[in-house]
Structure 1
Amino acid sequence: MLKQIVKGSGGLSLLLLAASVQAATPNAPVISWMPADYQLQNGSVQVPLRWDMWWGTNGNKWYLTKNDSVVFEAALTPNGQNAQSGNTNLMFSQPGSYQLQVSLCQVNGATEECAQSGITTLTISGTGGTDPVDPVDPVDPVDPVDPVDPVDPIDPIDPVDPVDPVDPVDPVDPAAPAKPTFAWSEDSVTLNGGSASLNLAWNMWWGTNGNLWQLKQNGSVVHSAALTANGQQAQSGSTSVSFSSTGNYNFVVSLCQQSSGSLLCTDSDVKTVSVTAGSGDGGDGGDGSFDPWTDLDMTAWPHPLKQNNVAFNNTTGKKVGAYFVEWGIYGRAFHAADIPAQNLTHIYYGFIPLCGPNEGLRQSNPQGYAALNSQCAGKPDYSVVVHDKFAALEKGYPGDVWDQPIRGIFAELYRLKQAHPHIKILPSVGGWTLSDPLYQVGVNPAARAVFIESIIDFIRTYDFFDGIDIDWEFPGGGGVTPDLGSPQDGAGFATLMQELRAALDALSVETGREYELAAAMSGGVEKLSVVDWEDAAPYMDYINLMTYDYYGAWNGVLGHQTGLYPSPNSPIVGFSADEAVQYLLNRGVPAGKIALGAAMYGRGWQNVSGTTGDNPFTGTGGDGITGGWERGIMDYKKIEADFMGGPEASGVNGFTVGWDDTAKASYVWNPATNTLISIDTKRSVREKGAYILQHQLGGIFAWEIDADNGHILNAMHEGLGHTQQ
C-alpha cells in the first residue's frame, strides 16, 4: 500500500491506495527548532522554516502544510542515502495558532509515497494586518544552509557556558516562562541485556526564563533541577532516563518559576518514546557470535568521494589525517560514510572522555556533562566511556538490524575499515572540554593505571581502532579549567607515553597487530616547552602540532590563526608553525614524528578598528564573527562560498582574499564592514606541504573534516607533491 498526497481546496489529505509499482518510502523529515511564539510587528511577521532528513531513503519532492493546507512545495534531487533538507519562509499577518508539517515524498508517476514530520505548533500574537502571504521561494534544496547544531556535546573550541544547571534557585517575579522544546533524540530504544537508556535534552531559545525545570514521565516527576534565570536569554537542560521494561513512555518538560512557595510552569509538547525488547544479551542470537568484521551488511560500501574531493596517489607515504567528530552527525549532518577515506591515512575520532572530575565540561556544556555522568554511572574515575551512546553505538544506518549489538558510528567505522583497510583510526582522548581528568592521569600513578587499563580494554573491544591519540589541553595548564596544571605535568606526560607504549606493545603480542601512539599538542612554543620531550618522544609515533588557534576573537589581538612563519608584526613570539617545529627539532624530536595541522575553518573578528594602510592586522579586533557554529568561528566551505568566491578566487561580497607572503598565511578582509577572518586556503596549505617536505616531517592533519568541501584536503595532497589518480 502506498500513501498518496492529494492537493485541493480542502488542503492535504493522505489516501491509502493500492499500487502496482512499489516506491520506497523516504525517511521521515524533522522540522528544525523554531520559537513557539511570534509577535506581529506592523501587522505581519516572517517565520523561517527549515527541515532535515539526516540519513536514509531520499525523496524527490517536499510539501509544507499549514493547518492541513498545502502552502508550499518544491522538487528535490535524491542523493542515495545521504542527508536532505529544505527551507522556506512563511508570512503571517493574523494572530492565531498554526500547525505546520513537512511531507518528504518519492513521486512515481501519479503516486507519491510520503513520510511526514511531527507537527510544529506556532502561536502568532499581536494585531493582525492583511491576509497571510505564501512563502517565498526556497534556497537550493540540494545545497542547504548548514543547520543549527542541536547538541554539540564536546565542542573543543572555546565553548561558552550557556546554562549552569546546579546554581541555586533565583527568586524572580512570578511570570510564566516561555515554552521549552525537546531537542532531537531517538523516539525508540531497544532493551539490551534487559535495560536501555536515553539522554533527553531541551531548549528554550528566547523568552521569559525559569528558575526550575522538571521532567515528567507518564505524568510523574522523575527529574528536577534548578536554573539561573537570565532575562530573555536561552535556557536548556538534559538528563538521562533508564528503561527496564517495554512499552510507550510519555515525557514532558516543565519550565517553571518558583517564588514564595508558588510554582508557575509552562509545559513542552509530549515526547513519546517506544521501548522494545532486544535479544536479551546484546542482540547476538544468545551465543555471542556476532562479529562486526564479518556480520555487518557491507552493501553500501565503499562510498565514492563526495563534494570536491578527488583521488590522490600518496607517493610520499606521509601521513594525511583528519579529525572526525562524534557530534557532527547532528546539525552538521556529516557521517562516517561522508569521510573521504581513500584520501586519508589517519582518522582521529573526537572525542573519548574520561570519567571523574570534569568541571570544565560542566561549566561549558551542561548537556554534555549530564550525558557523560550517565555513561559513567558505576564506573571508576579515570576510566573511559563513549560520550554520546546513541551516536556511537545505537543510531541506525543502512544495513543495520534492530538487534545488532553495535550500530551507530562505530558500526560504520567497522565498515569503513573493511572498505579501506589501509586507514588508521585512533580514538582521541580528551579535547578542550574533556581534558580535566588528564591532569590527574599525568601525575597520579593510581589514576593513570585505571585509565591505561580502561583505554586498552576499549580498543580491544572496539577493535577497528588502531592505537591511541592523547589530546591533553594542556600539560602545565592553560586549558578550559584555569586552576588546573602544575610543573609536574611535563614529566607526567612523558610517563604516560612510556606506560601507554608498554601497554600497546603488550596488546600487540595478544592480537598480532601494531598500534600507534600519538598526541595532539599545542602549536605554541610556550606550552610545548613544558613537556619532557627527551623522555616522551621515543615512545610516540606522531606528535600532531595544533598549528592553528594562535589568534582568535577571545580577545582583540589580531594575528594569523594558522600562520606557517611569524610575520614582522606578529604580536606573540612562538605562535607559528615554524617556531613550534624548530623548537621540537632542537629538543631532539625526530622530524618524521612531527605532523603539521591545517585548519578547515576560520577565526574572525567584526568591527576591526585602527588599521594602517591596507594591512588589517595592524588594527584591533572587535567581537567575533557570526554565521558559523559558534561566535568567532566559521567553516572553510562557508567562507569559500560567501567571501572568497572559489578556492583560488580573489573575493566576493565586499571581501578581498589577502596573502601574507612572510607568514605564508591567507585571510579575507572587508574594509567596508571591518570584518577580518584568518584562514587556511589551498595556497597556504600547499606551503605547509612544501615545508613538510623541506624538513622531512611526518605529515599533515586537519581539524575537522566536516568543515571542508574537499578543497583543503586536496591541497594537503598537492602540497606533498601527490598526483591525482
Structure 2
Amino acid sequence: MFKQLVIGGGSLSLLLLAAQIQANTPNAPVISWMPADYQLQHGSVQVPVRWDMWWGSNGNKWYLHKNDSAVYSAALTADGQNAQSGSTTLTFTQPGSYQLQVSLCQVSGATEECAQSGITTITIGGSGGTVPDPVEPDPVEPDPVDPDPVEPAPTNPAAPAKPVFGWSENSVTLTGGSANLNLSWNMWWGNNGNLWQLKQNGAVVHSAALTANGQQAQSGSTSVNFSSTGNYNFVVSLCQQSSSALLCTDSDIKTVAVTAGSGGDNGGDGGFNPWTDLDMTAWPHPLKQSNQAYSNTTGKKVGAYFVEWGIYGRAFHAADIPAQNLTHIYYGFIPVCGANPSLQAANPQGHAALVSQCAGKPDYSVVVHDAFAALEKGYPGDVWDQPIRGIFAELYRLKLAHPHVKILPSVGGWTLSDPLYQVGVNPAARAVFIESMIDFIRTYDFFDGIDIDWEFPGGGGATPELGSPQDGAGFATLMRELREALDALSVETGRDYELAAAMSGGVQKLSVVDWEDAHQYMDYINLMTYDYYGAWNGVLGHQTGLYPSANSPISGFSADEAVQYLLNRGVPPDKIALGAAMYGRGWQNVAGVSGNNPFSGTGGAGIGGGWEPGIMDYKKIEADFMGGPEANGVNGFTVGWDDTAKASYVWNPATNTLISMDTKRSVREKGAYILQHQLGGIFAWEIDADNGHILNAMHEGLGHPQQ
C-alpha cells in the first residue's frame, strides 16, 4: 500500500505519525476493467476511467496519474467505511502506451495519506479502429481482481465484437469419476450477436440463441461435465446468424486441465468448503452510518430486503448490511426461466442476461440472474481460484459472523413474476419450479428457506393480461407443496427452513388468495404495506399509511385494513409482518390544494433526483428536505404528519412538491401497532435506501433497548 506524506509546520514523533498513518490511510482503490486498445479518430480519442473502493477507510480526495504524472483530481465526501468511487474521461491526441493509476487520499492540513491502485496499461493506436463506447456496462461488470483482458476491435465490422471468458478455474479434479465446471463469457460493448456457441477441442458442445440489443453488453454461461483426465481447449464463438450467412467472432482459447482425484472431496472445486475455507479476516463488520445496536427482547422479526443490483450505482454491498440488527435478510431477486415479457419490456439487457442464464435449462427453473454480481465479483479476502465469490460468498461470511440471521432468496418481484402465474396453476410447471428451487438452496446452503414474491395472484401485476380466478387456490397449493419439499430437505440436512411470501398490502388483491388453506404452510406473510399511492397517476394519498385517513381516495389501502382482513380470514397474527418503506414516493406540480392540505390536490409528474422517477431514498429525503430525522424541514419543505393515518410527508408549497414516506415517527407507530395486535414483526424495502434511522425506529417501535 502506497503512503504519501507531506509534513510541514514543525516536528511529529514517529510513534504518533505511525498511528496516524494506520488510522487515516484509505483502503486501496481498484480501476474498473477497460479495453486495452484505443484508436485515434480525427486526431483524438476519449477514454473513460472509473475506479471503486468497495469498503474500508474513506478518502476525501482522489488523483488520476498518467505515466506517473497527476492529470486529474477531485474532492470526495468521506462516509465512514462505505464504498467510494470516481470517474473521469481522458483525451489522448498522441499514439503510444500509457500507464494509468489512481490514488485515493485522506488530506488533513499539510498531511496527505494515499493508497494507490494497481497500474492499468492502455495503448493508443495511430489510425483506424473504433472508439469504445464511454458508457460503462451496467449491471454486469468485469471482476476488478482479475487482470485486464485484451479486447481488440473485431476485424470484420459486420461480425459481432469479441467475447471474453469470465473467470473460472483452469483445472478441476475428478471426484467419483466426474467433475463440473461453469464457463461464462462477456462481450462488454460492440456489435451484438444473436447466437453463441461453446467449442470443446474444436467441436461445438453447446449453443444458445441471444437477443441482440444494439451495442450493449452480452453474456452467456453453461456448465461442462468431464469424465476423463486431460487438457481441454475451449473457445466461445459469438455469431450473427442470418438466412444467408453466419458471421462469428471467436474468443481466445481457454485451457482446462482435468486431473484424477483421490476421493473424499466435494467435487471439481478441489474440495473448497465455503463454511470453513473463506477468509473471514474482515468480518464481522461494524455497524455503519447511523445504525445503533439493539437487543431484540421481543423475539419479533426485524427483516429487510437486500437487492442484487445495489452493488452497482448504489454501491451498497453485503458488508454494509447492519446484520446484527436484523433477524431476516431477503435477497432480491431470483428469476424463473420461461416467458418474462415484463422484464423484457422494462430491462432488455437484464432479459438478455436471464435468457443466457436459462440456456439449456427447462422453463420454470430458477437461476442466478446476474452471475457476476452473485458469484464472480471479487471482494476482500477472495482468492483467484475460489469457486464461489461475489455476493454469495459474502453472504456465507455474513452467516458465519451472524448465525442468528435467516437469509431467504426472494423469487419474483415486479418484473420477474410472469412465470409464477403458470407455476401457480400448472402442476407440471410447479413440479419443475419446486425441484429447481430446492436444488438451488441445497447448492447455496447459506439460504434458510424460500420467499415467494408473486406480484400478484389474480392479476394486477406488470403484465396486465396475466392472472386468473384460479390463482388464489394455486397460491395455496404452491405453499403446501413448497412446505412439503422444505420438510423433506430438513430430513436430509437436519436444518429448519422457513417459507414466506411478500403479499400486496391492498385488501382487494389479498382477497383473491385462499388464506384458510395457505397460511398453515407459511411462517410469515410479509404485507407490502407501502406503494398504496404513487406518481403512476395523479391520485394523492399516503403511500405507506398505517390507517386510512379521513378522506382516503381508495378503500382497503392501509396497513390496518390489510391486517384486519387477514385476521378475519383466520390467519394467526404472529405470521403477519408489516412493511416499512425506506423510500418515499412523490409528485411534482401538485395542483388544486385547499386548506393547506396537499393531499386535497391532484399530483403531476413523479419527482426526480432518485434512482427512478417518482421514488427517492429515505436518506436523501432526510438530508435534502427534512433536515434530520426529527427536524421540521429545510429548503422550503415542511415535514407533515397525519395523525389519523399515522403517516408522514414533506411538502413544498412554493414548488408544489409532495413526497409521502415513512419516518422514524411513522415507523414507531407501526411498531406499537405490531405489539398491540401481537403480530409477527416488521420488515423493510430496501436496506440500501436507509441511513440507519428507519431500522433504528423499527427496533424502537417494538420497544427494543439499545445495547
Change (3 A) 1:284 1:78: farther
Change (3 A) 1:650 1:25: closer
In 1: Cα distance, 2:556 partner to 2:520 partner: 24
Q: Report if aligned partners of 2:288, 2:320 keep a CA contact under 8 Å in 1.
A: yes
- Secondary structure of 1:458's aligned partner: helix
Name the amino acid aligned to 1:54: W
Q: Report if aligned partners of 2:333, 2:412 keep a CA contact under 8 Å in 1.
A: yes
Q: Report if aligned partners of 2:364, 2:432 keep a CA contact under 8 Å in 1.
A: yes
- Secondary structure of 1:414's aligned partner: helix
1:311: which partner in 2?
293
User: How big is each residue's C-alpha offset from its partner over 1:571-596, in whole Å with a ceiling of 9 and x where there is no partner?
Assistant: 11111101100111111111111000
Q: CA deviation at 1:28?
A: 1.7
- Secondary structure of 2:490's aligned partner: helix
2:385: which partner in 1?
403
In 1: Cα distance, 2:497 partner to 2:212 partner: 45
Q: CA deviation at 1:371?
A: 1.3
In 2: Cα distance, 1:28 partner to 1:247 partner: 31
1:115: which partner in 2?
118
User: How big is each residue's C-alpha offset from its partner over 1:119-175, in whole Å with a ceiling of 9 and x where there is no partner?
Assistant: 799xxxxxxxxxxxxxxxxxxxxxxxxx9993299xxxxxxxxxxxxxxxxxxxxxx
2:536: which partner in 1?
554
Q: CA deviation at 1:87?
A: 6.4
Matches of residues 647-658 of structure 1 in structure 2 within 5 Å? Answer: 647-658=629-640
In 2: Cα distance, 1:148 partner to 1:636 partner: 27
2:333: which partner in 1?
351
Q: CA deviation at 1:699?
A: 0.4
In 1: Cα distance, 2:211 partner to 2:557 partner: 42
User: How big is each residue's C-alpha offset from its partner over 1:161-215, in whole Å with a ceiling of 9 and x where there is no partner?
Assistant: xxxxxxxxxxxxxxxx9xx9999x99755457675544647689xxxxx9x8789
In 2: Cα distance, 1:646 partner to 1:271 partner: 55
In 2: Cα distance, 1:372 partner to 1:190 partner: 23
One of 218, 227, 244 as aligned partner of 1:238: 218
1:17: which partner in 2?
none
One of 393, 401, 410 as aligned partner of 2:375: 393
Q: Report if aligned partners of 2:95, 2:123 keep a CA contact under 8 Å in 1.
A: no
Q: CA deviation at 1:118?
A: 7.5
In 1: Cα distance, 2:180 partner to 2:685 partner: 39
Change (3 A) 1:96 1:280: same
In 2: Cα distance, 1:81 partner to 1:643 partner: 25
Q: CA deviation at 1:82?
A: 4.8
Change (3 A) 1:111 1:323: closer
Name the amino acid aligned to 2:296: N
Name the amino acid aligned to 2:322: P
Q: Report if aligned partners of 2:278, 2:397 keep a CA contact under 8 Å in 1.
A: yes
Matches of residues 663-702 of structure 1 in structure 2 within 5 Å? Answer: 663-702=645-684
Name the amino acid aligned to 2:550: P
In 1: Cα distance, 2:332 partner to 2:689 partner: 14
Q: How many residue pairs were aligned?
A: 625
In 2: Cα distance, 1:95 partner to 1:111 partner: 29
- Secondary structure of 1:433's aligned partner: coil
Q: Is 2:48 the partner of 1:52?
A: no
Change (3 A) 1:685 1:226: closer
Q: Could you tell me the TM-score, scaled by structure 2's length?
A: 0.77
Q: Report if aligned partners of 1:55, 1:397 keep a CA contact under 8 Å in 2.
A: no
1:28: which partner in 2?
30
Q: Report if aligned partners of 1:25, 1:115 keep a CA contact under 8 Å in 2.
A: no
Change (3 A) 1:663 1:199: farther
1:632: which partner in 2?
614
Name the amino acid aligned to 1:674: N
Change (3 A) 1:660 1:517: same
Name the amino acid aligned to 1:238: Q
- Secondary structure of 2:499's aligned partner: strand
Name the amino acid aligned to 1:53: M
In 2: Cα distance, 1:645 partner to 1:629 partner: 21
Name the amino acid aligned to 2:118: A
Matches of residues 483-502 of structure 1 in structure 2 within 5 Å? Answer: 483-502=465-484
Name the amino acid aligned to 1:379: K
User: How big is each residue's C-alpha offset from its partner over 1:703-722, in whole Å with a ceiling of 9 and x where there is no partner?
Assistant: 01011110000000000111
Q: CA deviation at 1:96?
A: 11
Change (3 A) 1:392 1:685: same
2:559: which partner in 1?
577
1:41: which partner in 2?
none
In 1: Cα distance, 2:361 partner to 2:234 partner: 29
In 2: Cα distance, 1:182 partner to 1:80 partner: 40
1:150: which partner in 2?
138
In 2: Cα distance, 1:509 partner to 1:363 partner: 42
Q: Is 2:427 the partner of 1:445?
A: yes
Name the amino acid aligned to 2:73: E
Unaligned 5+ runs, structure 1: 8-20, 37-46, 122-146, 154-176, 205-209, 230-234, 262-269
Q: CA deviation at 1:69?
A: 5.7
Tell me whether 653-662 or 190-199 shows the greater mean CA deviation. 190-199
In 2: Cα distance, 1:456 partner to 1:472 partner: 18
1:717: which partner in 2?
699
Name the amino acid aligned to 2:102: S
Change (3 A) 1:372 1:710: same
2:687: which partner in 1?
705
Matches of residues 234-383 of structure 1 in structure 2 within 5 Å? Answer: 236=216, 238-240=218-220, 289-383=271-365
Q: CA deviation at 1:110?
A: 10
Q: Is 2:506 the partner of 1:506?
A: no
User: How big is each residue's C-alpha offset from its partner over 1:78-117, in whole Å with a ceiling of 9 and x where there is no partner?
Assistant: 8897522246899x9x999999966125799999744356
User: How big is each residue's C-alpha offset from its partner over 1:430-485, in whole Å with a ceiling of 9 and x where there is no partner?
Assistant: 11111111111111111111111111121122211111111110000111111110
In 1: Cα distance, 2:604 partner to 2:578 partner: 29
In 2: Cα distance, 1:80 partner to 1:50 partner: 21
User: How big is each residue's C-alpha offset from its partner over 1:3-30, in whole Å with a ceiling of 9 and x where there is no partner?
Assistant: 89999xxxxxxxxxxxxx9999924234
Name the amino acid aligned to 1:115: G
- Secondary structure of 1:723's aligned partner: coil
- Secondary structure of 2:671's aligned partner: helix
- Secondary structure of 2:118's aligned partner: strand
1:533: which partner in 2?
515
Q: Is 2:441 the partner of 1:456?
A: no
In 1: Cα distance, 2:551 partner to 2:99 partner: 55
Unaligned 5+ runs, structure 2: 7-20, 39-46, 125-134, 142-156, 173-178, 198-206, 225-230
In 2: Cα distance, 1:705 partner to 1:436 partner: 25
